Structure 1
Amino acid sequence: MAPRDARSGAVRSSRRDPFVATDTLEGADAADRRPCSPTLDMRKRSAVGRNAEAIEEGVAIAMAAARLSVKNTILVSTISLGESFDPEHFTDAARDTLLGLADEAEQAADAVSRARKAAWGRHTEPRGTHDYRDRDVRNLRRRAKQYAGVAKSLRASAGRPEVLRELVERAREAAWGDVEANLQGRLRIEAMRPDQDPDYARMREARMQALRLVDLQKLSAQARRRRSEAADPDAPDDEPRARPTGSR
């Protein structure tokens, strides 16, 4: 049997209406209770979804930057320094990179929070892009939460060995892709005949100009120096050599 209200005697339902506010006075008549519009709840869910998407996008950008950094580290270590590829060695580099990016995200969150506090209560016209006002407070608060969320996710990834191994592997694939493209380009250029080069006609004028301005001038200077040495073989190296008559 459903319970009755103590004062009015009205039957109270045991099921809660999700669109009725919970702060109504107990015992009030059901007709006096104001239904809560679901618009506010929908807006809150929409804002949460946008924040989650922004954090996910920020993490994706940070992971791409980390992959590029680890790729460059692999190239320098294996090609410039001649070291062998050791995944464990580059796992530490991947972890340090993620932690560094997390620090940057936290610093950005702190900077946005300071800007939000400075903008609070200011209603004058802004004088620049980053001269925030009170109407920007909500957006700045959301941005600070997003930066903090990115930093939290990156720190969590830095502590997961499987994420670090995947990051190193993808960086290794990217590094090998760069090396492979470079080797293929060099082989194609060195083994290509003029009739097979699609840019031969377009670049021919530039090569001829470089020949006239650089190579021929260098050869002419070398020829003058040899003639000067032949004309005065006893002249010391630190003295200027006499220019032969009639030389150009």
Structure 2
Amino acid sequence: MRWFRRRRESAAPPMRPFDESQLVSPMPTTLDHALDEGIMIAEYAARMTVKNRIVVDAIRTESGFDAERYLPVAADALRELADESDAAGARIAEEREFAVALDGQGAHIHDYRAVDDLNLRRRERVAEELARALRRQADDEEALRGLVETSRDDAWHEIGSAIEASLDAFAGVEGLKADYEREKPERLNLLIRRDLARLAEERSGY
């Protein structure tokens, strides 16, 4: 038994010490890629803003959906995001101006130094380009209509999911009661007054 154990142990290859130089350095993100990601995130944020407005209006008012009504909402959401991107670019420019005078390595990820100049320049340019791209979309009626239509689909899905969840609850334990059919109209009214009103209240806070 000892002979077999010694043989297995001796067959194990020796572990080499960790060599950091062998690690493959990740390729830097290109400006186009970073800009595409920024646009995608901003469009999603704008879509959520429009969707929440549609949800609130659909529940609290009796007017039908009209895309024209939400075009200004979509445009305002995009312009607000563009302003935020401009502010981010200005803040990065200030950080870069201060960082280029500092040598050495930073103590944490936000402690920028001269070695971070190229990265900060890239981030500043992405913020500026993103702001311009969002303002172009805000002035593009076709892009706004696409944003509104997608937001409407999201809104109807959210409202429908809330209704389905409430009806499933009603059809569970409540459905076994003898007076379920007689009380169904009141339960549906409760769904509208309570559950959908709660949904509208949650979405109006965005």
Q: Does 1:160 align with 2:143?
A: no
Paired residue for 2:30, among 38, 45, 50? 50
Give the fraction of aligned pairs with identical amino acids, expressed as a percent: 35
Bigger RCO (CA 8 Å, 6+ sep): 2
- Aligned residue pairs total 150
> Secondary structure at 1:113's aligned position in 2?
helix
Q: Deviations 1:17-51 (Å, cap 9, x if unpaired)?
A: xxxxxxxxxxxxxxxxxxxxxxxxxxxxx97x811
Relative to its length, the structure with more helix (as a share) is 2
2:41 matched residue in structure 1: 61
Provide the alpha-carbon RMSD of the alignment. 2.1
After TM superposition, give the deviation of residue 149 of structure 1 in Å.
1.2
Within 5 Å, give how 1:204-219 maps onto structure 2.
none
Paired residue for 2:119, among 117, 123, 139? 139
After TM superposition, give the deviation of residue 94 of structure 1 in Å.
0.2
Moved more, 125-134 or 101-110: 125-134
* Structure 1: gaps spanning 5 or more residues: 1-45, 197-248
Give the letter for the 1:56 counterpart. Answer: D
Give the letter for the 1:171 counterpart. Answer: S
TM-score of the aligned structures, taking structure 1 as reference length: 0.57
TM-score of the aligned structures, taking structure 2 as reference length: 0.68
* Structure 2: gaps spanning 5 or more residues: 1-26, 177-206
Paired residue for 1:115, among 91, 95, 118? 95
Give the letter for the 2:114 counterpart. Answer: D
After TM superposition, give the deviation of residue 152 of structure 1 in Å.
1.0
Q: Distance in 2 between matches of 1:83 and 1:76?
A: 12
After TM superposition, give the deviation of residue 127 of structure 1 in Å.
3.9
After TM superposition, give the deviation of residue 192 of structure 1 in Å.
1.8
Within 5 Å, give how 1:76-91 maps onto structure 2.
76-91=56-71
> Secondary structure at 1:146's aligned position in 2?
helix
> Secondary structure at 1:122's aligned position in 2?
coil
Q: Distance in 2 between matches of 1:82 and 1:98?
A: 27
Q: Distance in 2 between matches of 1:82 and 1:106?
A: 39
Which runs of at least 4 in structure 1 moved beyond 6 Å after TM superposition?
Answer: none
After TM superposition, give the deviation of residue 101 of structure 1 in Å.
0.4
1:97 matched residue in structure 2: 77
